[in-house]
Amino acid sequence: MPVGYENVSARGLSLVSSGPQLRLKPGRERSLLRRHPWVFSGAVEAVVGSPDTGATVQLRADDGRFLGWAAYSPASQIRARVWSFGENELPGPELFQSRIETALARRRAEIPAEITDAMRLVHGESDQLPGLIADRYGDSLVVQLLSAGTEKWRDALVGILRDRSGCARVYERSDTDARELEGLAASSGLISGAAPDEPLRITEHGITYQVDVASGQKTGFYLDQRDNRRRVGQVAAGRDVLDCFSYTGGFALSALAAGARSVLSIDASAQALALAKRNLALNPALAGRADWLEADVFEALRKLRREGREFDLIVLDPPKFAPTAKDAARAARGYKDINLSALRLLRPGGLLATFSCSGGVSIELFQKIVAGAAADAGTALLLRERYRSAGDHPVRVEFPEGEYLKGLLLERA
């Protein structure tokens, strides 16, 4: 008798009942019934059959109830990622195409073409395509296949994405820690189409940026901060701005576009700063004084204080300090350190735009950390605005992990 035969429905010998399965421990189906798409290794009672890495498995509760179709990942703590919760929604090119079309339609509705020609088209779990990231930069697409399941379906996913987006070429940037956790080797390079003759450029909120998709950070640009760059830029008029962790100049250029008096940008990456300077040159209309400092922000903030420097707007947009909640304590020390140092450089009436993209640090915790820094600095802060990621990074209510970016605009009273 085939494995799972006892569960065959009235419809007869459907695919649903054959093939490999993950049986969950009693009670561990609860998050899946809420449609959270991850199964952790500790929730698995038994693996029935011998699925390969990335293979499609059925998820079944302890009582045999069908829970979903998932990609199996034996190397990862996230042992399976759900492709679909419908018994009749089998993963495969047809399902992927429909998910990708839904994702593209959402972006078309959400982001008018005049705002940008660069956007995240697919945001993994939040678009019901676990482990799949696809960013469009003009007519180039950059994909990340970050899970065993996406690796298994690589050709189908890349083909559909290229067709549906109409992009001329596809780069891969699957060179992240996430992929290592899945037991997959890093993989990057041009995987479809011909390399462009010119460096790749995008225009976001009227500002032109060159994007290095082949060797820049992430897929080349921090798309999630698009609207925050604009909002923070808008309060920069007439101010002396300090842009910490500036990467290729996103906040700095947005501040100059809005009439900042001066901007000092700090980043540890010489490559990022070189591109930031290039980006300034690409936008001749931007006025104001721009200075660049290649340094560690933690040290540079202390040095600026020793030099008696002061600013009217400080941006802190550090990399992820805490990927998960277990790193939160260490991350909290890092956030407190830079926020405290920044507050000591802020003139009365000055603004601090402070961000965290750590999934392991909630907005409540982040606000507490900043309040602690304000107390230590002896400054009173008023909360002016809260920030989150742009609309091409949707958040599903059942997947709070998708809401990793948070920010506060604070005024020194």
Strands 346-356 and 169-174: unpaired
CB 265 within 8 A of CB 276: yes
**Least CB distance from residue 231 to ligand SAH, whole Å?**
12
Instruction: Give yes or no for residue 354 binding ligand SAH (CB under 6 A).
Output: no
Instruction: Give yes or no for residue 311 binding ligand SAH (CB under 6 A).
Output: no
Q: Which of 126, 131, 122, 211 minimizes the C-alpha distance to 178?
A: 131
Instruction: Give yes or no for residue 222 binding ligand SAH (CB under 6 A).
Output: yes
Please state, in angstroms and rounded to a whole number, the distance separating the CA atoms of residues 248 and 212.
10
Instruction: Give yes or no for residue 239 binding ligand SAH (CB under 6 A).
Output: no
> In this chain, which of 21, 76, 147, 225 binds ligand SAH, going by CB under 6 A?
225
Instruction: Give yes or no for residue 387 binding ligand SAH (CB under 6 A).
Output: no
For residue 108, how many other CB atoms are within 10 A of its CB? 12
> In this chain, which of 110, 177, 291, 296 binds ligand SAH, going by CB under 6 A?
296
Please tell me whether residue 167 adopts helix, strand or coil conformation: coil
State which residue, 35 or 231, has the beta carbon closest to ligand SAH.
231
Which residues, including other chains, have CB under 8 Å from residue 274's CB and lie 6 or more apart? Answer: none
State which residue, 104 or 357, has the beta carbon closest to ligand SAH.
357
Angle at 99 between CA 98 and CA 101, to 5 degrees: 65
Binding mask 258-287 for ligand SAH (x = CB under 6 A): --------xxxx--x---------------
Please state, in angstroms and rounded to a whole number, the distance separating the CA atoms of residues 268 and 245.
8
Instruction: Give yes or no for residue 245 binding ligand SAH (CB under 6 A).
Output: yes
Instruction: State the residue number with the nearest CB to ligand SAH.
Output: 250
Active site residues: 357
> In this chain, which of 251, 311, 387, 399 binds ligand SAH, going by CB under 6 A?
251
For the chain, what's the residue count? 413
Instruction: Give yes or no for residue 400 binding ligand SAH (CB under 6 A).
Output: no
Which residues, including other chains, have CB under 8 Å from residue 207's CB and lie 6 or more apart? Answer: 253, 254, 257, 279, 283, 286
Instruction: Give yes or no for residue 227 binding ligand SAH (CB under 6 A).
Output: no
The binding site for ligand SAH (CB under 6 A) comprises 217, 222, 225, 229, 245-248, 250-251, 266-269, 272, 296-298, 317-319
